[in-house]
Amino acid sequence: MTTSLAAPRATATTLTWQGSSALTQVRVLTWRCVRALLTDPAVLLFGLLQPVITLFVLTQVFSKMGPPPHFPPGIKYLDFVLPAVLVDNAVQSAVQSGIGLVEDLKNGLVSRLRSMPVAPGSLLVARSLATLVRSAIQAGIILLLGTTVLGYAPHGGVTAIAESVALTLFISWSLAWVFIAAAAWLRRAEPIQNLAVIAVLPMMFASSAYIPVADLPDWLAAVSRLNPLTYAIDSTRALALGLPGSTAALPALLLGAGVAAVGATLAATGFRRPLGQG
């Protein structure tokens, strides 16, 4: 009965492998998510659908209507709206990180990882990084369409676009933690999708995304000023248009860092809870 307790380690055979570093775990798991993305172009395509349609519809509508009174002078509507569309894309990608984690919980990957010498946080970090990659690929496609088909050419030039996109990707990464946290706690896809519908549509409209806040009705303007997306969009837009000074990125960076920190903490605690019992 107790033989193996009495002489415990003498019976243990040598391990085949000694386990991997946290860095390797994150790299391997991130590559797994990205790979699934690359081998399934339909996923990317559907992810691009909403931002691209928004981009085309808005630029068509607003070029017919003419600019609202508080629109920054001397700026094309396309140049104004494209940074916001990239943020929209960033939010959409962030939602997918939550959906992805729910899938991992459902298909048993998480339970398998728990039985392996793998840090639980590795998968969460991997999911957030995969979102970053996804966001970057989609942003690249939107930019390509914007510059070649529509003629996107903001005042800031190539450097400004690069800075703006980099900030947008950071926002995407930090928002990913919100949806990863939601997935870690809710563990079902439906509430996350609902959360996404609420987060994406109204929050984009009740922000500085499509027209300047000053041109929104008063109550909507008030909501917009409370909406973190307004500050994210203002920052990426200011960078792309080369508007004010070097501090433009600061609000978005601080906000993003805060959101990521809170999201990651919540995600880690939610993820640690036991899996469903059978």
Partner 1 sequence: MIEAHGLGKTFGSVRALDSVSLSARRGTVLALLGHNGAGKTTLVSILSAALAPSEGRASIAGYDVTREARQVRQRIGLTGQFASVDGQLSGRDNLLLLARLLGAGRRAALARADELLELFGLTELADRRARTYSGGLRRRLDLAASLVGRPEVIFLDEPTTGLDPASRLNLWEIVEGLVAEGTTVLLTTQYLEEADRLADSITVLSAGSVIASGTAADLKARVGRRTVTIDLDPADDRDTALDALRRAGLTPVTGREDGAVVLPADGSREIAAVVRALDQVGIEAAELIYGEPSLDDVYLTLSGHPAGSSLLLPEGATP
Helix (H, G, I), strand (E, B) or coil at 218: helix
265 is an interface residue for partner 1 by CB under 8 A: no
DSSP assignment, residue 209? S
With beta carbons less than 8 A apart as the criterion, state whether 224 and 208 touch. yes
Of the pair 113, 268, the CB lying nearest partner 1 is at 113
With beta carbons less than 8 A apart as the criterion, state whether 180 and 204 touch. no
Using the contact rule CB under 8 A, the part of the chain among 31-39, 62-70, 134-142, 173-181 near partner 1 is: 31-39
Q: Which residues of 131-155 are buried (b: 16+ CB within 10 A; e: fewer)?
A: bbbbbbbbbebbbebbeeebebebe
With beta carbons less than 8 A apart as the criterion, state whether 147 and 79 touch. no
- For partner 1, the binding residue among 116, 148, 158, 219 (CB under 8 A) is 116
The size of the interface with partner 1 (CB under 8 A), counted in residues, is 41
39 is an interface residue for partner 1 by CB under 8 A: yes
13 is an interface residue for partner 1 by CB under 8 A: yes
40 is an interface residue for partner 1 by CB under 8 A: yes
- For partner 1, the binding residue among 70, 114, 155, 188 (CB under 8 A) is 114
15 is an interface residue for partner 1 by CB under 8 A: yes
3 is an interface residue for partner 1 by CB under 8 A: yes
Of the pair 118, 183, the CB lying nearest partner 1 is at 118
Q: Read off φ and ψ for residue 12, nearest 5 degrees.
A: -70, 130
Of the pair 109, 153, the CB lying nearest partner 1 is at 109
22 is an interface residue for partner 1 by CB under 8 A: no
CB contact set of 251 (below 8 Å; sequence gap of 6+): 231, 234, 235
278 is an interface residue for partner 1 by CB under 8 A: yes
Query: How distant, in Å, are the alpha carbons of 42, 95, 104, 132 from that of 39?
Result: 9, 20, 18, 17
Binding residues for partner 1 (CB under 8 A):
1-5, 7-9, 11-13, 15-20, 24-25, 28-29, 32, 35-36, 39-40, 107-109, 111-118, 274-275, 277-278
